[in-house]
Structure 1
Amino acid sequence: MAWIILIIAGLLEVVWAFSMKQSEGFTRLGPSLVTLAAMGVSFALLSWAMRTLPLGTAYTVWTGIGAVGAFAVGIVMLGESVNPMRLLAALLIVGGLVLMKLASPG
């Protein structure tokens, strides 16, 4: 169950990163509120997952999901550039997340 909660927390990190970009420096109310709400729930779920998962594992997976998710959202929704080096970097992060999961209890 902790892994499912952690994945949801990571996905919410993607939501708040995207909405923070859309808030234009917290000058737009709607995206700013989404950012703050998603941050709060993401942190709370991360905290819950850390009750049973090791700190290093939970935090690494949480930030990795957020990083790769924000990378993908940036490409798909914001038209950010994609090139072989950026794709390789994202794949290496995903590989590290898989290894972290395989090496961790829970």
Structure 2
Amino acid sequence: MSWIVLVVSGVLEAVWATALGRSEGFTRLGPSIVFGVALVASMGGLAWAMREIPTGTAYAVWVG
């Protein structure tokens, strides 16, 4: 289960990075909300997965 959460968190990392650029300095509401939600979910998933997966391995998978 940790691996699935980690992979989903990695996908969400790409989502929040893309939304950050599209938010145009947080002046556009939609991408700004997507950024915030995806960021919290991605970091939370990474932290949860790292309870069972070694830090170096988890980070390498999370960043792609």
Query: If the length of structure 1 is used for normalisation, what is the TM-score?
Result: 0.58
Q: Secondary structure at the match of 1:51?
A: coil
Give unpaired runs (5+ residues) of structure 1.
65-106
Q: Trace 1:1-106 onto structure 2 (pairs within 5 A).
A: 1-64=1-64
Q: Which has the larger radius of gyration?
A: 1
Please list every run of at least 4 consecutive aligned residues from structure 1 whose deviation after the TM superposition is greater than 2 angstroms: none
Once superposed, what is the RMSD of the aligned Cα atoms?
Answer: 0.7
C-alpha offsets along residues 59-100 of structure 1, whole Å, 9 cap, x if unaligned?
Answer: 111012xxxxxxxxxxxxxxxxxxxxxxxxxxxxxxxxxxxx
Q: 1:30: how far off?
A: 1.1
Partner of 1:84: none
Q: Secondary structure at the match of 1:24?
A: coil
Q: 1:26: how far off?
A: 1.1
Q: 1:28: how far off?
A: 0.8
- How far, CA to CA, are the matches of 1:9 and 1:25 in structure 2? 23
Q: 1:35: how far off?
A: 0.1
- How far, CA to CA, are the matches of 1:55 and 1:25 in structure 2? 31
- Aligned AA for 2:39? M
Percent identity between matched residues is: 56
Q: 1:10: how far off?
A: 0.2
